[in-house]
Amino acid sequence: LISSLQSCQTGVTQWIAGCSGLLQTAAVPGRCRRMLCSIFQKHKAGPFQLSKFCGGLFEAHGAITQQNRSFYDTNKHLSAKDSLQPSEEKVGVLTRIIEALGFTGPLKYSRWKIKVAALRMYTCCVEKTDFEEFFNRCQMPDTLNSWFLVAQLHVWMCLVRLKQEGRTGKYMCRYIVHCMWEDVEQRGKVMGINSTVLKEDLKRMVENFYASLFGYDEGILSDDHVLAAALWRNLFNRNCEDPRHLELLVEYVRKQVQHLDALSGEDLLLTGEVSWRPLVESNARSILKPLSPVYNDEGL
Protein backbone atom coordinates (compact mmCIF):
# COMPACT_ATOMS: atom_id res chain seq x y z
CA LEU A 1 0.00 0.00 0.00
CA ILE A 2 2.82 2.39 0.93
CA SER A 3 4.59 1.61 -2.34
CA SER A 4 1.42 2.38 -4.28
CA LEU A 5 0.96 5.71 -2.47
CA GLN A 6 4.56 6.72 -3.21
CA SER A 7 4.14 5.82 -6.87
CA CYS A 8 0.90 7.81 -7.01
CA GLN A 9 2.55 10.80 -5.33
CA THR A 10 5.46 10.66 -7.78
CA GLY A 11 3.05 10.57 -10.70
CA VAL A 12 1.09 13.57 -9.38
CA THR A 13 4.29 15.53 -8.80
CA GLN A 14 5.50 14.82 -12.32
CA TRP A 15 2.05 15.64 -13.70
CA ILE A 16 2.17 19.07 -11.99
CA ALA A 17 5.71 19.67 -13.27
CA GLY A 18 4.63 18.74 -16.78
CA CYS A 19 1.64 21.08 -16.63
CA SER A 20 3.87 23.90 -15.32
CA GLY A 21 6.18 23.48 -18.28
CA LEU A 22 3.15 23.35 -20.54
CA LEU A 23 1.91 26.72 -19.23
CA GLN A 24 5.31 28.27 -19.84
CA THR A 25 5.42 27.06 -23.44
CA ALA A 26 1.75 27.53 -24.26
CA ALA A 27 2.53 30.77 -26.03
CA VAL A 28 4.24 28.85 -28.85
CA PRO A 29 1.68 28.42 -31.70
CA GLY A 30 0.50 24.87 -32.40
CA ARG A 31 2.50 23.33 -29.60
CA CYS A 32 0.02 23.30 -26.72
CA ARG A 33 -2.32 20.59 -28.19
CA ARG A 34 0.54 18.27 -29.20
CA MET A 35 2.11 18.47 -25.74
CA LEU A 36 -1.22 17.83 -24.02
CA CYS A 37 -1.83 14.68 -26.08
CA SER A 38 1.72 13.49 -25.44
CA ILE A 39 1.26 13.94 -21.68
CA PHE A 40 -1.84 11.68 -21.68
CA GLN A 41 -0.04 9.05 -23.75
CA LYS A 42 3.09 9.06 -21.60
CA HIS A 43 0.99 8.95 -18.42
CA LYS A 44 -0.70 5.75 -19.67
CA ALA A 45 2.67 4.23 -20.61
CA GLY A 46 3.97 4.49 -17.03
CA PRO A 47 5.94 6.76 -14.66
CA PHE A 48 9.27 6.06 -16.37
CA GLN A 49 8.04 7.31 -19.71
CA LEU A 50 6.43 10.34 -18.04
CA SER A 51 9.69 11.23 -16.32
CA LYS A 52 11.53 10.93 -19.62
CA PHE A 53 8.96 13.13 -21.30
CA CYS A 54 9.10 15.76 -18.55
CA GLY A 55 12.87 15.88 -18.86
CA GLY A 56 12.53 16.64 -22.57
CA LEU A 57 9.85 19.20 -21.81
CA PHE A 58 12.11 20.99 -19.34
CA GLU A 59 14.94 21.02 -21.90
CA ALA A 60 12.62 22.53 -24.50
CA HIS A 61 11.36 25.06 -21.99
CA GLY A 62 14.93 25.98 -21.05
CA ALA A 63 15.81 26.51 -24.71
CA ILE A 64 12.81 28.80 -25.17
CA THR A 65 13.63 30.72 -21.99
CA GLN A 66 17.23 31.13 -23.08
CA GLN A 67 16.02 32.36 -26.45
CA ASN A 68 13.76 34.92 -24.83
CA ARG A 69 16.49 36.11 -22.50
CA SER A 70 18.52 37.34 -25.44
CA PHE A 71 15.97 40.13 -25.89
CA TYR A 72 16.19 41.38 -22.30
CA ASP A 73 19.74 40.70 -21.17
CA THR A 74 21.36 44.06 -21.89
CA ASN A 75 23.87 44.07 -19.05
CA LYS A 76 26.57 42.57 -21.24
CA HIS A 77 26.28 45.55 -23.58
CA LEU A 78 26.83 48.07 -20.76
CA SER A 79 30.19 49.73 -20.46
CA ALA A 80 32.09 50.14 -17.21
CA LYS A 81 30.72 53.65 -16.84
CA ASP A 82 27.11 52.50 -17.21
CA SER A 83 27.45 49.43 -14.99
CA LEU A 84 24.82 48.87 -12.33
CA GLN A 85 25.37 50.11 -8.81
CA PRO A 86 26.42 47.54 -6.19
CA SER A 87 23.58 45.91 -4.32
CA GLU A 88 22.69 46.85 -0.77
CA GLU A 89 24.39 45.26 2.20
CA LYS A 90 23.35 41.74 3.10
CA VAL A 91 20.89 41.51 5.98
CA GLY A 92 20.24 38.40 8.03
CA VAL A 93 16.88 36.73 8.43
CA LEU A 94 16.53 37.80 12.07
CA THR A 95 17.27 41.41 11.20
CA ARG A 96 14.68 41.33 8.42
CA ILE A 97 12.07 40.02 10.86
CA ILE A 98 12.92 42.70 13.43
CA GLU A 99 12.66 45.50 10.86
CA ALA A 100 9.45 44.03 9.42
CA LEU A 101 7.90 44.42 12.88
CA GLY A 102 8.75 48.13 12.86
CA PHE A 103 11.91 48.00 14.99
CA THR A 104 15.48 48.87 14.10
CA GLY A 105 17.88 45.99 13.71
CA PRO A 106 21.54 45.97 14.75
CA LEU A 107 23.58 48.71 13.08
CA LYS A 108 27.25 49.18 12.31
CA TYR A 109 27.68 51.63 15.21
CA SER A 110 25.70 52.23 18.39
CA ARG A 111 22.51 54.23 18.01
CA TRP A 112 23.41 56.98 20.44
CA LYS A 113 26.63 57.68 18.49
CA ILE A 114 24.62 57.90 15.29
CA LYS A 115 22.09 60.25 16.87
CA VAL A 116 24.83 62.53 18.16
CA ALA A 117 26.46 62.54 14.72
CA ALA A 118 23.09 63.26 13.08
CA LEU A 119 22.47 66.23 15.38
CA ARG A 120 25.95 67.55 14.63
CA MET A 121 25.44 67.15 10.89
CA TYR A 122 22.16 69.06 11.01
CA THR A 123 23.89 71.75 13.05
CA CYS A 124 26.49 72.04 10.28
CA CYS A 125 23.66 72.54 7.79
CA VAL A 126 22.22 75.54 9.63
CA GLU A 127 25.29 77.09 11.28
CA LYS A 128 27.92 76.71 8.56
CA THR A 129 25.64 78.04 5.80
CA ASP A 130 25.68 81.76 5.02
CA PHE A 131 21.94 82.37 4.71
CA GLU A 132 22.37 86.09 4.30
CA GLU A 133 24.52 85.56 1.20
CA PHE A 134 21.81 83.31 -0.26
CA PHE A 135 19.13 85.93 0.40
CA ASN A 136 21.18 88.74 -1.14
CA ARG A 137 22.51 86.96 -4.22
CA CYS A 138 19.29 85.11 -5.03
CA GLN A 139 17.00 88.00 -4.04
CA MET A 140 15.00 85.93 -1.57
CA PRO A 141 12.92 87.53 1.21
CA ASP A 142 14.35 87.27 4.72
CA THR A 143 11.62 85.08 6.20
CA LEU A 144 11.34 81.80 8.09
CA ASN A 145 10.12 80.07 4.94
CA SER A 146 13.14 81.27 2.94
CA TRP A 147 15.45 80.10 5.70
CA PHE A 148 13.75 76.71 5.66
CA LEU A 149 14.06 76.38 1.87
CA VAL A 150 17.82 76.97 1.99
CA ALA A 151 18.23 74.69 5.01
CA GLN A 152 16.29 71.84 3.42
CA LEU A 153 18.49 72.05 0.33
CA HIS A 154 21.57 71.39 2.47
CA VAL A 155 19.79 68.70 4.47
CA TRP A 156 18.87 66.96 1.21
CA MET A 157 22.50 66.96 0.06
CA CYS A 158 23.48 65.31 3.35
CA LEU A 159 20.74 62.71 2.93
CA VAL A 160 22.00 61.89 -0.56
CA ARG A 161 25.47 61.24 0.84
CA LEU A 162 24.34 59.21 3.85
CA LYS A 163 22.11 56.89 1.83
CA GLN A 164 25.28 55.49 0.32
CA GLU A 165 26.26 54.11 3.75
CA GLY A 166 23.67 51.34 3.92
CA ARG A 167 21.22 50.78 6.75
CA THR A 168 23.25 52.81 9.24
CA GLY A 169 23.24 55.82 6.95
CA LYS A 170 19.50 55.54 6.38
CA TYR A 171 18.90 55.42 10.13
CA MET A 172 20.98 58.57 10.49
CA CYS A 173 18.91 60.22 7.74
CA ARG A 174 15.71 59.71 9.71
CA TYR A 175 17.15 61.36 12.79
CA ILE A 176 18.49 64.33 10.81
CA VAL A 177 14.99 64.97 9.46
CA HIS A 178 13.62 64.64 12.99
CA CYS A 179 16.11 67.25 14.24
CA MET A 180 15.15 69.56 11.39
CA TRP A 181 11.44 69.57 12.28
CA GLU A 182 12.21 70.10 15.96
CA ASP A 183 14.38 73.09 15.07
CA VAL A 184 11.81 74.61 12.71
CA GLU A 185 9.09 74.35 15.36
CA GLN A 186 11.28 75.96 18.01
CA ARG A 187 12.28 78.80 15.70
CA GLY A 188 8.63 79.46 14.91
CA LYS A 189 7.81 79.68 18.62
CA VAL A 190 10.73 82.04 19.28
CA MET A 191 9.51 84.31 16.45
CA GLY A 192 6.12 84.53 18.18
CA ILE A 193 4.09 82.84 15.47
CA ASN A 194 0.62 81.83 16.57
CA SER A 195 0.40 78.13 17.45
CA THR A 196 -2.46 77.50 15.03
CA VAL A 197 -0.70 79.30 12.20
CA LEU A 198 2.56 77.53 13.03
CA LYS A 199 0.83 74.16 12.92
CA GLU A 200 -0.59 74.88 9.46
CA ASP A 201 2.77 76.18 8.25
CA LEU A 202 4.54 73.04 9.50
CA LYS A 203 2.01 70.85 7.70
CA ARG A 204 2.63 72.75 4.48
CA MET A 205 6.40 72.60 4.97
CA VAL A 206 6.29 68.83 5.45
CA GLU A 207 4.40 68.39 2.18
CA ASN A 208 6.79 70.69 0.31
CA PHE A 209 9.84 69.01 1.85
CA TYR A 210 9.00 65.50 0.67
CA ALA A 211 7.90 66.79 -2.71
CA SER A 212 11.19 68.66 -3.10
CA LEU A 213 13.14 65.48 -2.29
CA PHE A 214 11.74 63.80 -5.38
CA GLY A 215 12.47 66.87 -7.50
CA TYR A 216 16.03 67.23 -6.28
CA ASP A 217 16.72 63.51 -6.67
CA GLU A 218 15.54 63.63 -10.25
CA GLY A 219 17.61 66.73 -10.90
CA ILE A 220 20.86 65.39 -9.49
CA LEU A 221 20.48 62.23 -11.61
CA SER A 222 19.65 64.20 -14.76
CA ASP A 223 21.17 67.11 -16.60
CA ASP A 224 21.38 70.74 -15.47
CA HIS A 225 18.05 71.64 -17.08
CA VAL A 226 16.14 69.23 -14.82
CA LEU A 227 18.06 70.34 -11.74
CA ALA A 228 17.45 73.99 -12.57
CA ALA A 229 13.72 73.28 -12.92
CA ALA A 230 13.70 71.58 -9.50
CA LEU A 231 15.47 74.55 -7.91
CA TRP A 232 13.09 76.96 -9.60
CA ARG A 233 10.05 75.10 -8.23
CA ASN A 234 11.27 74.34 -4.72
CA LEU A 235 13.88 76.92 -3.73
CA PHE A 236 12.60 79.97 -5.62
CA ASN A 237 8.88 79.09 -5.38
CA ARG A 238 8.52 79.56 -9.14
CA ASN A 239 9.64 83.18 -8.81
CA CYS A 240 13.06 83.73 -10.35
CA GLU A 241 13.37 86.38 -13.04
CA ASP A 242 17.15 86.23 -13.42
CA PRO A 243 18.39 82.94 -14.95
CA ARG A 244 21.86 83.66 -13.60
CA HIS A 245 20.56 82.85 -10.12
CA LEU A 246 19.54 79.42 -11.31
CA GLU A 247 22.90 78.92 -12.96
CA LEU A 248 24.64 79.86 -9.72
CA LEU A 249 22.56 77.41 -7.65
CA VAL A 250 22.99 74.56 -10.15
CA GLU A 251 26.75 74.97 -9.98
CA TYR A 252 26.57 75.18 -6.18
CA VAL A 253 24.61 71.95 -5.82
CA ARG A 254 26.83 70.03 -8.23
CA LYS A 255 30.05 71.01 -6.51
CA GLN A 256 28.63 70.42 -3.03
CA VAL A 257 27.46 66.90 -3.87
CA GLN A 258 30.87 66.14 -5.35
CA HIS A 259 32.51 67.61 -2.25
CA LEU A 260 30.41 65.44 0.09
CA ASP A 261 31.10 62.31 -1.95
CA ALA A 262 34.81 62.79 -1.28
CA LEU A 263 34.27 62.63 2.50
CA SER A 264 34.86 59.38 4.35
CA GLY A 265 31.68 57.49 5.16
CA GLU A 266 33.07 56.28 8.49
CA ASP A 267 33.89 59.85 9.53
CA LEU A 268 30.41 61.01 8.62
CA LEU A 269 28.73 58.24 10.63
CA LEU A 270 30.92 58.80 13.69
CA THR A 271 31.24 62.59 13.78
CA GLY A 272 28.66 64.10 11.44
CA GLU A 273 31.07 66.91 10.60
CA VAL A 274 30.57 68.35 7.11
CA SER A 275 31.96 71.46 5.47
CA TRP A 276 30.43 73.54 2.70
CA ARG A 277 32.11 75.17 -0.21
CA PRO A 278 31.32 78.86 -0.72
CA LEU A 279 28.40 79.92 -2.86
CA VAL A 280 30.73 81.90 -5.12
CA GLU A 281 34.24 80.56 -5.55
CA SER A 282 37.12 83.00 -5.47
CA ASN A 283 38.85 80.72 -7.95
CA ALA A 284 36.47 78.73 -10.15
CA ARG A 285 39.14 76.10 -10.86
CA SER A 286 40.11 75.58 -7.25
CA ILE A 287 39.73 72.06 -5.91
CA LEU A 288 39.25 71.90 -2.18
CA LYS A 289 40.47 68.73 -0.55
CA PRO A 290 38.15 67.85 2.36
CA LEU A 291 39.82 67.37 5.70
CA SER A 292 38.88 64.33 7.76
CA PRO A 293 37.51 65.31 11.18
CA VAL A 294 39.30 64.21 14.32
CA TYR A 295 37.41 62.11 16.87
CA ASN A 296 38.27 60.04 19.91
CA ASP A 297 37.67 56.36 20.62
CA GLU A 298 34.05 57.03 21.58
CA GLY A 299 33.30 58.72 18.26
CA LEU A 300 33.08 62.25 19.70
Q: Where are the domains of the chain?
A: 2-64, 109-270
* Residue pLDDT, tens place only, 257-281: 999 999 998 899 989 999 999 998 8
Q: Do residues 118 and 175 touch, judged by C-beta distance below 8 A?
A: yes
Burial pattern 182-210, b for ≥16 Cβ within 10 A else e, equals ebbbebbeeeebeeeebeebbeebeebbe
Between 92 and 216, the more confident residue is: 216
Non-local CB neighbours of 295 within 8 Å, separated by 6+ positions: 267, 270, 271
**Model confidence band, residue 221 (pLDDT cutoffs 50, 70, 90):** very high
Q: Is the pLDDT of residue 137 over 60?
A: yes
Between 66 and 161, the more confident residue is: 161
- Torsional sign, CA 164, 165, 167, 169: negative
Residue 174 CA to chain centroid, in angstroms? Answer: 13
